[in-house]
Amino acid sequence: MSLKDSGFGKVAVLMGGRSAEREISLMSGKGVLAALRSRGVDAHPFDPSERDLGELKRERFDRCFIALHGRFGEDGTVQGALELMGIPYTGSGVMASSISIDKVTTKRVWLAENLPTPRYVLLRRGGFDRKQVMAVPDELGLPLIVKPAREGSSIGLARVEGYSGMAGAVEQAAKLDADVLCEQFIAGDEVTCPVLGSGDAARALPVIRIVAPEGNYDYQNKYFTDTTQYLVPCGLPAGEEQAIQALVLKAYRVLGCRGWGRIDVMIDARTRKPYLLEINTSPGMTSHSLVPMSARAAGVSYEDLCLDVLRAASLDHDVAPGGSA
């Protein structure tokens, strides 16, 4: 395929950025860039932390593949800038991105739609004291999870086993975000399910079951070790994978997401009930990332996945009322 025939024009792969996930974003972006170029796309790297976004317009880029993760990339800010410049971009629009980056707001939407998610307590910086922190285990039980409300890649996440661990976990999370999410711990299988497409045309890819060392799927085990197991086919009991895919599709649609995404789920070992944890609207595309792994299990190569995502690039005002671009 020649550059002229690719149909995508001049493409910027946005990578790096200013979030705590910069390192992972650079890894994702380099992979996407190589994949697009291998398929004849006129793709160029673009790091918003080093260049003014206005250069995208001045240099006449036709569309953007967003490989940014976290703040200033996955939270609606870059999406808003691209909307103003009229440059189509991959993934969810402004509102869906800004809602989805906030784990608490996401939970509130899901709960309003009667979708299952673990119970939680929100602690706002400056709005809680030690007494309130130590009361959280009484409400949620132990162990419990503490994490920043608006970070990804398990950055700042801690599993608290006893009262003595609460203060330190909350303090660590509060360094990364003004809001700290304390969440009921669900013991059981940890799975994730990617989604491709928009509206009624959105489809769930195969579910991946994650088996991390000692059940600790943290930043290190997520990206920099080879001891975490990713099982696809997931090996869940008959019917469970399909039920999770259906739940994930509904969760994706009610948030108004489009293009692609990935939703993490915990399955209660005792009841086998699935609980929605969070959604990623700009998922990782590294060698350890889960969307490419799931797509491969469905017969879609990394390169074709990148092309599919890029092909769906759009602007909010281009999306039809039914949710399909």
Q: Are 282 and 69 in contact (CB under 8 A)?
A: yes
Which of 64-73, 126-135, 213-222, 229-238 is predicted least confidently?
Answer: 213-222
Over the stretch 166-187, which tens digit does the pLDDT of each residue have? 999 999 999 999 899 999 999 9
264, 289, 302, 316: the active-site residue: 264
Query: For this structure, is 21 an active site residue?
Result: yes
Q: Which residue has the higher pLDDT, 202 or 317?
A: 202
Note whether 108 and 137 are same-domain residues.
no
Query: For this structure, is 71 an active site residue?
Result: no
Note whether 206 and 264 are same-domain residues.
yes
The pLDDT of residue 148 is above 90? yes
Note whether 153 and 207 are same-domain residues.
no
Query: For this structure, is 120 an active site residue?
Result: no
Q: Are 118 and 266 in contact (CB under 8 A)?
A: yes
Say what the pLDDT of residue 2 is: 42
* Cβ neighbour number for residue 182 with a 10 Å cutoff: 23
Average pLDDT over residues 233-261: 96
Which domain does 125 fall in, by range?
120-184
Q: Examine residue 324 and state whether it is found in any structural domain, yes or no.
A: no
| Domain endpoint, select from 136, 168, 184 | 184
Give residue 110's pLDDT band: very low, low, confident or very high (50, 70, 90). Answer: very high
* Average pLDDT score, the chain: 92
89, 219, 223, 275: the active-site residue: 223
Over the stretch 59-100, which tens digit does the pLDDT of each residue have? 999 999 999 999 899 999 999 999 999 999 999 999 999 999
Sequence-distant contacts of 127-135: CB under 8 A, at least 24 apart:
130/167, 133/166, 133/167, 133/170, 134/163, 134/166, 134/167
Longest Cα pair distance anywhere in the chain, in angstroms? Answer: 65
Note whether 216 and 236 are same-domain residues.
yes
| Domain endpoint, select from 169, 184, 199 | 184
Q: Examine residue 5 and state whether it is found in any structural domain, yes or no.
A: no
Query: For this structure, is 165 an active site residue?
Result: no
Q: Residue 63: give its domain's CATH number.
A: 3.40.50.20
70, 262, 282, 302: the active-site residue: 262
Nearest by Cα to 274 from 113, 116, 103: 116
Note whether 132 and 267 are same-domain residues.
no
Q: Examine residue 272 and state whether it is found in any structural domain, yes or no.
A: yes
Note whether 110 and 158 are same-domain residues.
no
Nearest by Cα to 147 from 126, 177, 187: 177
16, 21, 63, 256: the active-site residue: 21
State percent of the chain over pLDDT 70. Answer: 92
Say what the pLDDT of residue 127 is: 82
Which tokens hold the place of 91?
A: 């993934």
Note whether 79 and 200 are same-domain residues.
no
Query: For this structure, is 278 an active site residue?
Result: yes
Over the stretch 213-225, which tens digit does the pLDDT of each residue have? 765 545 555 545 6
Q: Examine residue 147 and state whether it is found in any structural domain, yes or no.
A: yes
Cα 154 → chain centroid: 11
Q: Are 211 and 231 in contact (CB under 8 A)?
A: yes
Q: Are 230 and 98 in contact (CB under 8 A)?
A: no
Q: What is the DSSP letter of 237?
A: P
Over the stretch 269-311, which tens digit does the pLDDT of each residue have? 999 999 999 999 999 999 889 999 999 999 999 999 999 999 9
29, 278, 289, 294: the active-site residue: 278
Note whether 195 and 271 are same-domain residues.
yes
Note whether 14 and 83 are same-domain residues.
yes
Which tokens hold the place of 124?
A: 């706002």
Q: Residue 147: give its domain's CATH number.
A: 3.30.1490.20
Q: Examine residue 2 and state whether it is found in any structural domain, yes or no.
A: no
Nearest by Cα to 56 from 73, 38, 30, 78: 78
Beta partners for 12? 44, 64
The Cα angle at residue 184 between residues 182 and 185, in degrees rounded to 5: 115
Q: E-assigned strands of the chain? A: 10-14, 42-46, 63-66, 120-124, 144-148, 158-160, 179-184, 188-196, 203-204, 208-211, 229-231, 260-268, 274-280
Say what the pLDDT of residue 220 is: 55
The pLDDT of residue 211 is above 80? yes
98, 159, 284, 289: the active-site residue: 284
Note whether 105 and 230 are same-domain residues.
yes
Query: For this structure, is 302 an active site residue?
Result: no
Pairing state of beta strands 144-148 and 260-268? unpaired
Q: Examine residue 312 and state whether it is found in any structural domain, yes or no.
A: yes
| Domain endpoint, select from 133, 168, 184 | 184
Note whether 224 and 110 are same-domain residues.
yes
Question: CA-CA distance, 303 to 279, in Å (whole number)?
Answer: 23
Which of 14-18, 106-110, 222-226, 228-232 is predicted least confidently?
Answer: 222-226
Note whether 145 and 275 are same-domain residues.
no
First to last CA, the chain: 25
Element housing 99 (H / E): helix 94-101
